[in-house]
């Protein structure tokens, strides 16, 4: 694989991580907005402004979730989501800048969450969850192979200098 191809794959992974950071940051901002106002009214108003039928199953699921959660739980969700978004942003920027530490961080953080993603799929299957799991497994495998190759080259150079 050429250097441009390897760099291109890293940039795609960086873009994927930055996209996930953006989505999570939006979820965090939304959660904080919901803590300051009546969440069910806001969600209903958003559904109507986006021309989503109020009887839509996704709207009902979200309303049901919001009715059974208190403000403290919503704030904790927002903070956790924000921290997770920060990790993704650091990974994405580090990968974009081709920093080796970002590869290690991405391997660690992504691999640690694979069992949770698998559990989620077992509990509630969806095509999107399966796709994200497959993408994350491919990312971990690719980065492990990339790091392993870099370490092997380094050891060969050191052995040649001895």
Interatomic CA distance for residues 96 and 139, integer angstroms: 14
- CB 82 within 8 Å of CB 28: yes
pTM of the model: 0.74
Q: Which residues contact 101 (CB under 8 A, 6 or more apart)?
A: 94
In SS3 terms, the chain reads as CCHHHHHHHHHHHHHHHHHHHHHHHHHHHHHHHHHHCCHHHHHHHHHHHCCCCCCCHHHHHHHHHHHCCCHHHHHHHHHHHHHHHHHHHHHHHHHHCCCHHHHHHHHHHHHHHHHHHHHHHHHCCCHHHHHHHHHHHHHHHHHHHHHHHHHHHHHHHHHHHC
pLDDT of residue 50: 73
**% of the chain residues with pLDDT over 70:** 81
- Alpha-carbon 39 to chain mean position: 25
The mean pLDDT of 27-34, rounded to a whole number, is: 82
Mean pLDDT of the chain: 84
Return the pLDDT at 67.
67
- 71 vs 120, more confident: 120
């Amino acid at each position: 694989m050429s250097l441009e191809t390897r760099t291109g794959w890293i940039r795609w992974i960086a873009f994927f991580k930055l996209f996930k950071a953006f989505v999570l940051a939006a979820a965090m901002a939304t959660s904080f907005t919901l803590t300051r106002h009546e969440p069910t009214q806001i969600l209903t108003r958003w559904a109507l402004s986006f021309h989503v039928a109020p009887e839509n199953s996704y709207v009902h699921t979200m309303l049901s979730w919001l009715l059974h959660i208190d403000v403290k739980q919503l704030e904790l969700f927002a903070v956790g989501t924000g921290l997770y978004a920060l990790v993704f942003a650091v990974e994405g920027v580090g990968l974009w800048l081709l920093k080796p530490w970002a590869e290690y961080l991405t391997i660690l953080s992504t691999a640690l969450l694979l069992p949770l993603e698998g559990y989620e799929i077992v509990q509630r299957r969806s095509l999107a969850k399966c796709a994200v799991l497959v993408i994350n497994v491919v990312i971990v495998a690719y980065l492990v192979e990339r790091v392993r190759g870099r370490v092997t080259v380094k050891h060969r150079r050191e052995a040649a200098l001895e």
